[in-house]
Structure 1
Amino acid sequence: MAGVKALVGLSFSGAIGLTFLMLGCALEYYGVYWPLFVLIFYVLCPIPHFIAKRVSDDTDAASSACRELAYFFTTGIVVSAFGLPIILARHPKLCEIKWNSCLKK
């Protein structure tokens, strides 16, 4: 039952995050759709885990180097998903997003 609660909580927080991302882009006050490029990171995030799961077929509880490398790449992708709106907000000549739009992400 604890696994189901964690899955429901994760789904709920993901839905809230996507809602804030859409609001940060689609509201008339902001009106810039550049932060939607964060969705690319959302799609890329589980790929290292799936590759590591496919490659390492050991069933013991000890972590393998492949799995640890997948965690490292996944962490880098997640940090990049938070960093992209900040970089876009700091450089107004690159694209004109506002800081409020960046913070709603």
Structure 2
Amino acid sequence: MAGIKALVGLSFSGAIGLTFLLLGCALEQYGKYWPLFVLIFYILSPIPTFISRRVSDDTDIEWGACGLVMTGNAVIFLTILGFFVVFGGGDDFSWEQW
């Protein structure tokens, strides 16, 4: 019974999230439809999980490798964020105009 409640809760939160996404795009006062491209990535996001389940049935993850990968991802994402913070302003083209 707990699994059904979790599934219903996740479905409800997903529906609320999509409602907010569609409202942000469809309300006439905003008039921006670019955020709908996020739906492409929502559809593509489960593909790596499907591939990894087909390749390996063993779910035993080495914690050292997991930690190194997570640390590497954090460093790379913080580097990208730093790039946009340092070089994002001061030019004619700005993300804020969208």
RMSD of aligned Cα (Å): 2.3
User: How much identity, in percent, do the aligned residues show?
Assistant: 70
SS in structure 1 of the partner of residue 60 of structure 2: coil
1:21 aligned partner: 21
CA–CA distance in structure 2, aligned partners of residues 46 and 64 of structure 1? 22
Give structure 2 stretches of 5+ with no counterpart.
71-93
1:86 aligned partner: none
SS in structure 2 of the partner of residue 32 of structure 1: coil
* Corresponding pairs, count: 70
1:41 matches 2:26 = no
TM-score (norm 2): 0.61
Work out which of the two has the higher radius of gyration on C-alpha atoms and give 1 or 2: 2
TM-score (norm 1): 0.57
Structure ranking higher on relative contact order (CA contacts 8 Å, 6+ apart) = 1
CA–CA distance in structure 1, aligned partners of residues 39 and 47 of structure 2? 14
Give structure 1 stretches of 5+ with no counterpart.
73-89, 97-105
Structure 1 stretches of 4+ moved >4 Å: none
